[in-house]
Amino acid sequence: MTALVGHLMESDFPPQYKSWKSVPPNFLFDAPIYKEIKADLRDIADNLRREARHAHTLAIWTDCDREGENIGAEVVQVCRESNPNINVKRARFSVIQEREIKHAWNSLGNLDVRQAAAVDARSELDLRIGAAFTRFQSLRLAGRFLELAEQKILSYGTCQFPTLGFVVERALKIQNFVPEDFWKIEVSVRKDDVTAKFNWDRGHLFDHHFAVVLYERCMDNPTARVVSVQSRPKSRWAPLPLTTVEMQKVGSRSLHLSSDRIMTIAESLYTKGIISYPRTETDVFSDNFQLRPLIEAQTHDPQWGQYAQGLLDGKFKKPRKGKNNDEAHPPIHPVRAAADLAGDDKRVYDFITRRFLACCSDAAKGQETTVTIDIAQETFTAKGLMILERNWLEVYPFEKWSDSYIPVFVQGDQFQPSELNLNQGRTSGPELLTEADLIGLMEKSGIGTDATIHEHIKKILERSYVNKEGPKSYFVPTVLGLSLVQAYDAMNLELSLAKPELRSQMEANMKKICEGTKTKEQVVHETIDMYRQAFAAAEAKSHLLEEVRSALSFSPISSSTDEWSAVVGEKPGSSTRRRTGSYLVSHAEKLALIINQRDLQAPENEEAPEDVRKCPKCGSLMMLRSIRNGEMKMIGCMNYPRCKHSFFIPKFAKSVSVADSKCQRCSTAGSDVRELDFEFIRSMIPPMLPTKYRTCLWCDEMLRELIEADRPVRSQPREPEAPARQASARQPRAQQAPAPSARQPDHNQHPPFDGGDDRGDVPNCQCGTPAARRMVRKEGPNSGREFYACRKHSTEVSRCDFFQWADEPPRTNSGAGGGGPSGGGGGSTTADPSVQCHCGEPGALRTVKKDGPNFGREFYGCGKGGPDRGGCDYFQWADQVTKADPQGDFAKYQAFATFGNSGNNDAPKCGCGLISVVKTAGRNSENQ
């Protein structure tokens, strides 16, 4: 008999591939691979050869899992170098107990070559993929960072990067979280010197007004009536037997040790014969497992010896069975007493022993009482718990279950609450990941195994991709870690390198090798093809990866870092805040610019698909792109932030794309201006405008007017005003003159339509000034036709709606005037007293002049000219107005709005039992 110390062999590339600069990184996907004995284990290999030379049978007693099968296959390979005909057998066991060992010896089987092949496949894939991507990003980045002078390697691993991805994803969720205010009614009752707090069945409401209504109803009738009192037994199950992952999660949370430290200690205790094998997925003790001798070994311990004796005296319960059984090792348990331990070794041993004794115990038992009360038809509930038998809780302090007392209530009782309050709260975002949280996510997504999870976590800490911060040791991504993940995500790869799907698919294929449904060669070939495609896509967009460097220049952001300090649990001004907050917050802003501005750049030999034009201010490229996760689109200069010239696509555009045609007016030699294809929301645009519309944004005055009207007004810091000025500020906006600082038209940026007129017969517009001569440039029957319109810019409030075709005799204008092709209205308007708008003014009769299905159709608009001139947004087709109703639709509107607003108490009630609220149909509704 002889011993091993794990894997004898390791895989590597031939010498000609080991130099990083000798071959491109993608060559490693197809490079040859060989396995050889590890340099420090050659003595063990020589010993195996000597022992096998004169033996006739080789019995493999390694762990009964995939790794054990692969180690056994390596032993067979070494032994057959000296004895090719040696007979190979496999001993299968899960517990080092006499009965199990004898049974395994008497029923020797064969080595499972499929499991061994699965490990070889995973080893080869990890080597090829890890080496290719590590060389790729290290060669691209490592030499570009002065800050990373000591770290020459930016490693990539198929488990390492998804682990980092979990940390980055949680940090960004916190940073992007928008809190919301809510309100809830809280009730408390003090009775018999005991206070009971009742929870509102609605939880909380985000509608303040509705919450106030319900609260006031409770205050009007605050008497509480006990609706029900229910009492039932309550149990708290004993924990399941201990697995490796559970030991790491609970240990890191309760013992405040890292998972890597816990595993190091556990392996040390195992080699000393104090605990069982610490790497196991099994949470089931087999039916023939001998538990009593293990409990007897703990009866002399001064801390839990008496409890262990109680289990032997009749309180023992068979441990619950979990869902996992790797049939290789039993759950982790103590093998013998260990009174000579100290420090962290003793803490880990105590945890394992207490967990074992707890899982051999009965459930904790109690009695739960639930009281439900009613106040003004609102329901509130309070719960009390009396623990009758603590059982396993006595020996296992790592979980809490405590009494919560409430007074005695009887169904039908009525009383006045001690407190009845409407309190405001605010939603809170998720917390940063602790090590226990991260281990749970990795286990759920199949990232790593029970034996390697702690190694992947240790690796991202060693590579400075993440730090542990705060009293709870939260994981916070560093600038480098955050940059790498977001850069890969910005590449929009079909399968993200920082997400767990690729690795999970690989692990699923490993199982198929073990089941025999796929061969090792098939799995390696399929997986390499997936990563090869991802590598090619990443290499094509490597400029995003290189932009990480610019994100390392940062400056502290005090307000944001104070908020981040609260997240990690540090006080503002602490060192953690300076290291973590400013890194993350400022970096996220810089990286957003990189990703938003760079990820749409096409390769140099290919035209950018969303290229619109050159920026008229700086000459850089302007592109149409999505922002805010695709919720909005804008045309922005790629020279941002040095040049901030941009246009935001308005909300009335359902979609917009760059057309294949160019604007003949705006394009110049060597500088094309592309037209845009819009699809508008019908209810949000003037009736004369088609829903599908191709145009040039720079010379279509109608569209630019609509964009100006849709653009929100940005609030600016204001200096203290004089009382008279403050009073004028409260007047309707349409009645105020533009402020001196208001944005004026940039005629260099947007050339006006004004054209010269040398005939001397230029008409005056309604402002009393000569009109501007312009030309219709949109395709249609009036394309190229000239007309007259007001010379003032569309942003000026005093601009009138004058319009007149240049080749037609002038018409007598009255009323408010109509719009031209840009506005859609006819040239002249007629005030009709039989039709009144919402302002009570005579409606202005106009004609649609815009090409389309309604060309030439008459309609009524506001007599004052619309909202921009202090009027309303009244609109009605002339052929749909009933002249007998002098108010038009406005009379119907007034009649509809009057209902319920004149003290009528017969208004219907809603489903909540409250009187319904009268509201007015919106302007886009058919019931306006």
Identify residue 531 by its one-letter amino acid code.
Y
CA distance 382 to 321: 34
* Number of neighbouring beta carbons within 10 Å of residue 225: 13
Q: Are 280 and 243 a contacting pair, CB within 8 Å?
A: yes
Residues contacting residue 919 through CB under 8 Å, at least 6 positions apart: none
CA distance 540 to 535: 9
Question: Please, what is the Cα angle at 666 between 661 and 668, to 5 degrees?
Answer: 90
According to the 3-state scheme, what is the secondary structure of 581-622? HHHHHHHHHHHHHHHHHHCCCCCCCCCCCCEEEECCCCCCEE
CA distance 259 to 267: 12
Which structure tokens are listed for 856?
């030439």
Q: Is 277 a catalytic residue?
A: yes
For 175, 471, 554, 561, the CA distances from 573, given in Å and listed in that order, are 19, 15, 17, 9
List the one residue out of 277, 273, 262 whose CA is nearest residue 329: 277
Q: Which residue has the tokens 């609220």?
A: 917
Q: Which residue has the tokens 């090829």?
A: 128
CA distance 636 to 626: 10
Residues in the chain: 928
CA distance 353 to 334: 6
Q: Are 551 and 583 a contacting pair, CB within 8 Å?
A: no
Give the DSSP H or E segment for 125.
helix 113-141
Strands 87-90 and 57-60: parallel
DSSP secondary structure string for all residues of 420-467: EEEEEEE---PPPBPHHHHHHHHHHHT-S-TTTHHHHHHHHHHTTSEE
CA distance 762 to 387: 96
CA distance 789 to 773: 7
The conformational region for residue 547 under phi > 0 = left, psi -120 to 50 = alpha, else beta, is alpha
CA distance 64 to 329: 7
Give the DSSP H or E segment for 803.
strand 803-805
Q: Which residue has the tokens 């969303």?
A: 610
Give the DSSP H or E segment for 385.
strand 378-389
What end-to-end distance do the CA atoms of the chain give, in Å? 93
CA distance 46 to 2: 12
* Number of neighbouring beta carbons within 10 Å of residue 383: 16
CA distance 651 to 610: 20
CA distance 2 to 53: 14
CA distance 267 to 549: 41
* Number of neighbouring beta carbons within 10 Å of residue 692: 10
**Torsion angle (degrees, nearest 10) of CA 445, 451, 457, 460:** -100
Give the DSSP H or E segment for 183.
strand 181-191
In this structure, is the dihedral angle defined by the CA atoms of residues 8, 12, 15 and 18, taken in order, positive or negative?
Answer: negative
Give the DSSP H or E segment for 460.
helix 453-462
Which structure tokens are listed for 225?
């009536």
What residues are paired with 637 via a beta bridge?
622
Given the residues 277, 465, 531, 874, select the one marked as catalytic. Answer: 277
Q: What are phi and psi of 503, to 5 degrees?
A: -70, -40
CA distance 905 to 42: 96
The catalytic site residues sit at 277
